[in-house]
Structure 1
Amino acid sequence: MKLLNKQALLQVAGILVITLLAGIFFNISNPNRIQFIANEKVVDFSSSDSLLNALRIQDSLLKAADSLKNTSNLREDSLKAAHEKHIQDSLLAANKTDSLKRVADSLKTIQQKKEDSIKNAANQTVEIVKPVDIKIDFAKALFDKKYRFLDARDIADYNAGHIQGAMNIPFHEIEKYKEKFNDLPKDQVYVTYCSAACDVSIDMAYYMAKLGFKKVYIFHGGWDEWKAAGYPAN
């Protein structure tokens, strides 16, 4: 029995070997054979690298475009700001020029009114109740009208320099020179003066008022102010 089993196993093994060999032979000779060993699949990484590089280049281009856009916007904003500043500066300059012109015109108008007022006052023939104090601009207007100026200083000061055409009547010696007033018409305009630091011109003006002179002015600035102004002098 054991011998039979051994022979049967050998027969079965032989059949299996023959079947296996026949299958291998058939598979080799058949073009549609089954691949027992799979071909190694090679992954082509070159196409992936190219795609990655393309994406990187695209990203760089996008960043460059954004940078150019930002630069363009900054330049446009800068030009716009510069243009607006130029307009503002031009407007300010125009306003400043216009303001200065208006101020100059106003000052000119005021000065003209002042001069006209002085001239009108100099032309007045209204009798003065008492002597009136005047400043140099009014004194100059009266001088231009050819009114008589009376120098109340002593002879030495008068000879050293005086207002052009002025008549010297030293008031400190009025008793000696009072007869000179007899030659002066009492209805005319007179301006008394001395130096800036003296008051004899005031005394002379009131003395003349007592004598009946009705239009006497007192120029307090006197010879010193007249000379400093560069007005006509002898």
Structure 2
Amino acid sequence: MQTILSTVARRWLGCLLALWAGWAVAESEIRSPDEIPGTVRVDAEGLIDLIYRIPELTLIDSRVPMDRRQGYIEGSESLPDTHTDCDTLALHLDDLDAPVAFYCNGPRCGRSAKAAQVAVDCGYRRIYWFRGGFEEWLGKGYPVIKE
């Protein structure tokens, strides 16, 4: 009986390790594209410049709520990529010429790339993409809001 339990336990452990290893590999392979046609890619300083130059800029945090609770860029609006479509964008942006910038966790996060692509597909024309995202922002010591 104990041998059967120990065999079952080893198989479960093996399955769990295999799942974890697969997840870890999959997570490490996620990478945002270098460019998204129809957008202008900016770095942290470029985003700061946009915020000062274009007061009507809407900054969208494409991360899920759990990530946003770790902190976010002041003035950003939460719109996770999983909820981003033409209808939800229209709730945040006045018209197709409204300037908008997207960010997520960083280059290994595809959420802002997906959201920016949705905006392009919806016909928005002034789209900025902060590919370095929250990781770059924090790495440069810029302030964040935590609630």
Assess same fold via TM > 0.5.
yes
- If asked which structure has higher relative contact order (CA below 8 Å, sep 6+), I would say 2
- How far apart are 1:142 and its partner, in Å? 0.9
- Higher helix share goes to which structure? 1
Specify every segment of 5 or more residues in structure 1 that has no aligned partner in the other structure, as ranges.
1-128
In the alignment, what sits opposite 2:65?
Answer: 155
The code of the aligned residue for 1:181 comes to L
| Residue 169 of structure 1 pairs with residue 79 of structure 2 | yes
1:182 alignment partner AA: A
Question: What residue is the counterpart of 2:46 in the other structure?
Answer: 138
Q: Distance in 2 between matches of 1:167 and 1:220?
A: 17
What is the CA–CA distance in structure 2 between the aligned matches of 1:192 and 1:169, rounded to whole Å?
A: 9
Match of 2:118 in 1: 207
1:224 aligned residue = 135
How many Å apart are 1:209 and its aligned residue? Answer: 1.2
2:104 and 2:58 map into 1 onto residues whose CA distance is: 14
Residue 189 of structure 1, aligned match among 96, 99, 102: 99
Amino acid at match of 1:134: V
Whichever residue aligns with residue 126 of structure 2, its letter is K
Q: Is the 8 Å Cα contact of residues 84 and 118 (structure 2) preserved in structure 1? A: no
Identity of aligned residues (%): 25
| CA displacement at 1:231 relative to structure 2 | 2.2
**TM value normalised by structure 1:** 0.41
Q: Tell me the distance in 2 between the aligned counterparts of 1:189 and 1:153.
A: 19
* Change beyond 3 A, Cα 1:180–1:172: closer
Q: Aligned-residue CA RMSD in angstroms?
A: 1.8
Asked whether the 8 Å contact 2:63–2:104 carries over to 1, the reply is: yes
Q: Offset of 1:213 from its aligned partner?
A: 0.8
Counterpart-to-counterpart distance in 2, 1:222 and 1:149: 11
2:102 partner SS: strand
Q: Report the 3-state secondary structure (helix = DSSP H, G, I; strand = E; otherwise coil) of the residue aligned with 1:160.
A: coil
Q: Classify the secondary structure of the residue corresponding to 1:150.
A: strand
Quote how far apart the aligned CAs of 1:159 are: 2.1
Unaligned runs of 5+ in 2: 1-36
Q: Partner of 1:82 in structure 2? A: none
Instruction: Give me the whole-angstrom Cα distance separating, in 2, the residues matched to 1:226 and 1:202.
Output: 17
TM-score w.r.t. length of structure 2: 0.63
Aligned length, in residue pairs: 104
Give SS of 1:202's match.
helix
- Counterparts in 2 of 1:1-234, with a 5 A limit? 130-145=38-53, 146=55, 147-174=57-84, 179-183=87-91, 184-185=93-94, 186-196=96-106, 197-234=108-145
Larger Rg over CA atoms = 1
Going from structure 1 to structure 2, the CA distance change for 1:173 and 1:181 (only over 3 Å counts) comes to closer
